[in-house]
Structure 1
Amino acid sequence: MERSELVALLSPEGLRLLDSLPPYSSERDVLAIVSDLRKQGHSPALVAAVLTQSKLRRKAVAKFGDFASQMLFTEAGLEQATRLPVAARHAGRFRAAGLRRVADLGCGIGGDALAIAALDLDVLAVEADEVTAAIASFNLAPFPSARVEHRRAEDVDLREIDGVFLDPARRTAGHTQTERLTDPDDYTPSLGFAYELATGRSVGLKLGPGFDRDLIPSTAEAQWVSADGQVVELGLWFGALARPGIRRAALVLRGDQADELTADADSPDEEAGPLGEYLYEPDGAVIRARLIGDLARRLGGRMLSEQIAYITTDRATETPFAAGFRVLESLPYAEKDLKKALRQRGIGTLEIKKRGVDVDPAALRRRLGLNGDRPATLILTRVAGRHTALLAERL
């Protein structure tokens, strides 16, 4: 979004026009809306700006729910924004630690700052990009305890601040078609700045879930978060924001339910053992946090094979930390024989999961030529070091 587009959008005419639009549905409907708005005398720039916002608001519902209809976004800002349920947990850390004055450095469109302000905490939201800072100001306007400043994180005076939250920009500059940065020194603000700030301060740092574990300081609590089956972030917490005795955590969010595995360090894996009647695939947050061994012990299970994140058990146990499967039988691993076996069993709908084998599930599914009315799950992995195909059903 260009500055001129934002100025037009934030005008009384622009905001009234945006709120008057029907919910965004499809590109086909957009053509008719554009024609109508142009006939009403609205400028092409304003029409483009409000339609872009309408489309982004629909997309934002997945992260912000009903709040999305009252917010403004950039494409890049929405992509990098924290989901509201996760942001609420960030904010809860500051409140639980008794930190009343919080600085959100690199606030983006203001998602985390919004959650912090909603808990009646004072929040200073800082954003280096002018357009994004203006959008954050709009989104935070309903909260008197929040204020936004357009400046670099490195230039903020933190003497009156109790705690700091940082969500460094991990993509190239811009509002659309940005690219992911691989070098933490290229983050804005940089990882080095964040770590220096965390020395002697209460700091929360949001990073991507695939962040290099070797770069995690020993003083931090590292919490991987998954939301509805997708690992969405790694949070590093320092000072009063880090919980005593916890250095590794896997938080699993599904709808309104939250469950967490915690430990004081990476947990050692259980030894590998024979295939049992049940197989469990740990949630991605559990795998990232390296708490698979603790989960296996909870389930009374063992590793299916060394270095492979499957747990096998002899009895079913309900757990929020893994997807469970009942193993029905072992099938031939060779593709030609596997195709014949699936046809004999009338399998027409097949979920394919794999670990420890080099195969493209989508391509394999096409080659198998499935024909039948039975659903099943096919798990391709190694058992005792041997490639194995397991026919299973979800618990």
Structure 2
Amino acid sequence: MGYEFSAADVAFLTSAAGREALAVAAGFELSPASRLADVAAARKLVPEHASAVLETAVLRRKSLAKLSTADDWLFTDAALQQATPTPVALHRAERLRDRDVHDVTCSIGADLTVLGRVARRCIGSDLDPIRLAMARHNCARAGVDPLLVRADALRPVSTAGVVVADPARRDASGRRKWRAADLVPSLDELVAAHRGRELAVKCAPGLDFEAVDWAREIELVSLDGQVREACLWTGSLATARRRATVLRTGSPQWTITEEEPDDCPVRTVGEWVVDPDGAVVRAGLVRHYAARHGLGQLDPHIAYLTGDRPPPGIRAFRVVEHGHYTEKALRAVLRRHEVGRLEILVRGLDVDPNTLRPRLKLSGPTEATVVLTRIGRTPTAILCHATRTGVERPENGYS
């Protein structure tokens, strides 16, 4: 789980000498191949804090893909893994604008640096003194000044405002936890400790939502096609039982809730196949999404949709041909279309793309996508070409 920082490490890293050492280490290669050379250089540079400097340099470089303004922050490996990507944190913070907010699991302050800009008043607390010291540094670098206190998330030290929490989702070995009772703190304990307060609790998208019946809204959020988190909202913060929010770099964000119509037909394969964003699928809003865009389901139990016009701003699949799926039949279709590069999408069939691909003996200049699915009881293969559709102005539920 990475290097364990000490209070002395944090004090050094935030000193003038530490900042100078980190500036030098930022120029190291920091790759697996350069590991021995980097360690030797760090030990020569700062013998007593070489590991802390090297780990911080590595984590800062990793953070650039997730946190937009963290190039001079302090991290632990586990805290960086759990930190919310900046666009997702910004989206969640907007729902808390002008409120009093207490982040009871503030860790290294990734959410606090965003909340501190929009909340009326902001408090951060954590039981780990090392992460709290890092949060103090990171907030200062981000230009925000929340009140920071050392406290257990299950022992309230504030009485007003919204409680924000992000329970730990990995065990000591780094393996993910999926059950609400296994999180630290557990969700039931968290709710009981802050009874009567409004909550915004960040969780893994794979959580069993049947175990959180206290949540008035479950929001699934994706970023650039990857489902990043579920957020559980209570009290007046909740506006719909289920919500999917889709964030894409360079495109307007949009959201859909279960309050929208869900009337959509089951229909035969049309001109296009659409694979809804994972947030829509995980939130159970596939039919609502289909109804919004005039699409139908290929099968009432499978999330693939079809229609003659795809929604704007998505990666959709224009159908070339389709038919009953067997490996032999698919191999013949791919040979006829001279497909040499193939993306394999599977839903509803027990097919492993990585095992199937070499058996197809692909050859030719054409790139294609095949959708393998079940329509009723019939295994079906749909050969397509993937296309990025144009972006329209937000409307009809987009925001």
Amino acid at match of 2:312: T
* Match of residue 288, structure 1, among 282, 285, 302: 282
Aligned-residue offset at 1:348: 0.8
**Does 1:318 find its partner at 2:311?**
yes
In 2, Cα distance between the equivalents of 1:343 and 1:52?
50
In the alignment, structure 1 segments of 5+ residues that lack a partner are none
Secondary structure class of the residue paired with 1:390: strand
Partner in structure 1 of residue 201 of structure 2: 205
In 1, Cα distance between the equivalents of 2:355 and 2:263?
32
Aligned-residue offset at 1:389: 1.0
In 1, Cα distance between the equivalents of 2:61 and 2:26?
11
Secondary structure class of the residue paired with 2:111: helix
* Match of residue 81, structure 2, among 75, 79, 82: 79
CA pair 381-247 structure 1, distance change in 2 beyond 3 A: same
Amino acid at match of 1:187: L
Partner in structure 2 of residue 263 of structure 1: 258
**Does 1:351 find its partner at 2:343?**
yes
Partner in structure 2 of residue 272 of structure 1: 266
Amino acid at match of 2:40: S
CA pair 195-36 structure 1, distance change in 2 beyond 3 A: closer
1:223-265 per-residue CA deviation (whole Å, 9 max, x = no partner) reads: 100000000111111223223xx22111000014311112338
In 2, Cα distance between the equivalents of 1:369 and 1:347?
10
Amino acid at match of 2:150: H
CA pair 23-288 structure 1, distance change in 2 beyond 3 A: farther
CA pair 358-24 structure 1, distance change in 2 beyond 3 A: farther
Partner in structure 2 of residue 155 of structure 1: 155
Aligned-residue offset at 1:194: 2.8
Partner in structure 2 of residue 91 of structure 1: 93
Between 1:283-292 and 1:164-173, the stretch displaced more is: 164-173
* Match of residue 51, structure 2, among 45, 48, 52: 48
Partner in structure 2 of residue 106 of structure 1: 105
Partner in structure 2 of residue 119 of structure 1: 118
Partner in structure 2 of residue 220 of structure 1: 216
TM, length-normalised to structure 1 = 0.89
Aligned-residue offset at 1:147: 2.7
In 2, Cα distance between the equivalents of 1:195 and 1:319?
40
Aligned-residue offset at 1:274: 1.7
In 2, Cα distance between the equivalents of 1:227 and 1:24?
31
Partner in structure 1 of residue 18 of structure 2: 14
In 1, Cα distance between the equivalents of 2:234 and 2:13?
39
**Does 1:342 find its partner at 2:334?**
yes
1:107-142 per-residue CA deviation (whole Å, 9 max, x = no partner) reads: 122111110112364321111223222221221124
Partner in structure 2 of residue 369 of structure 1: 361
Partner in structure 1 of residue 392 of structure 2: none
Between 1:82-91 and 1:9-18, the stretch displaced more is: 9-18
Partner in structure 1 of residue 397 of structure 2: none
Partner in structure 2 of residue 130 of structure 1: 129
In 2, Cα distance between the equivalents of 1:38 and 1:165?
40
**Does 1:58 find its partner at 2:53?**
no
Aligned-residue offset at 1:21: 2.7
Kindly indicate whether the alpha-carbon contact (under 8 Å) linking 2:42 and 2:54 is maintained by their aligned counterparts in 1. Answer: no
Aligned-residue offset at 1:308: 0.4
Amino acid at match of 1:293: R
Secondary structure class of the residue paired with 1:376: strand
1:300-352 per-residue CA deviation (whole Å, 9 max, x = no partner) reads: 22210121001111x113334x6421111125622233223312321111111
Kindly indicate whether the alpha-carbon contact (under 8 Å) linking 1:269 and 1:303 is maintained by their aligned counterparts in 2. Answer: no
Secondary structure class of the residue paired with 1:318: coil
CA pair 233-81 structure 1, distance change in 2 beyond 3 A: same
Amino acid at match of 2:66: K
In 2, Cα distance between the equivalents of 1:332 and 1:186?
44
Amino acid at match of 1:285: A
Partner in structure 2 of residue 35 of structure 1: 40
Amino acid at match of 1:139: N
In 2, Cα distance between the equivalents of 1:355 and 1:107?
38
In 1, Cα distance between the equivalents of 2:219 and 2:326?
40
In 1, Cα distance between the equivalents of 2:144 and 2:63?
24
Aligned-residue offset at 1:205: 0.8
TM, length-normalised to structure 2 = 0.88
Amino acid at match of 1:163: V
